[in-house]
């Protein structure tokens, strides 16, 4: 089980585009998630953060931004900061589970 939530207890069904950056020495990086027309907007629930949840636990980011067109919410961009090699490894384990469940694949640039 691996899922993403924007409001606790509500699974986001829209699968994001995810971009990763990492420093040359592997000491830090970030993951940027792009969600087009996420379900949370249809539910009219409050966004409280981005929660990455799996059997190992929960990772949280408060860096969540909404995109609006004509006053209506359309997209979400969320950034998850990675501050150590251990956090990178943990994040990658989550992404492997999430990718397997949602048919994502990794493309190296």
Total number of domains constituting the chain: 1
CATH of the domain at 89: 2.40.30.220
Q: What is the Cα–Cα distance from 87 to 97, expressed in whole angstroms? A: 16
Helix H or strand E encompassing 41: helix 39-43
Concatenated DSSP letters of 12-26: --SPPEEEEEE-TTS
- Domain of 59 in residue numbering reads as 2-102
Q: Rounded mean pLDDT of the chain?
A: 92
107 inside domain: no
Domain-located, residue 109: no
Q: Is 87 contained in some domain?
A: yes
Q: What pLDDT, in 10s, does the model give residues 48-87?
A: 999 999 999 999 999 999 999 998 999 999 999 999 999 9
Of the pLDDT bands very low, low, confident and very high (cuts 50, 70, 90), residue 106 is low
Beta bridge partners of 4: 52
**Phi/psi-derived region of residue 62, left when phi > 0, alpha when psi is between -120 and 50, beta in every other case:** alpha
Mean pLDDT of 28-44: 93
Residue 91 has pLDDT above 80, yes or no: yes
């Amino acid at each position: 089980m691996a899922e993403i939530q924007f409001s606790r207890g509500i699974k986001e069904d829209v699968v994001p585009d995810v971009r990763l950056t990492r420093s040359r020495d592997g000491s830090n990086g970030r993951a940027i998630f792009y969600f087009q027309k996420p379900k949370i907007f249809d539910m009219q629930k409050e966004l409280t953060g981005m929660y990455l949840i799996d059997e190992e636990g929960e990772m949280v980011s408060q860096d969540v931004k909404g995109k609006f067109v004509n006053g209506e919410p359309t997209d979400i961009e969320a950034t998850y900061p990675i501050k150590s090699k251990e956090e990178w490894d943990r994040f990658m384990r989550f992404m492997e589970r999430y990718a397997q469940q949602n048919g994502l694949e990794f493309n190296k640039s």
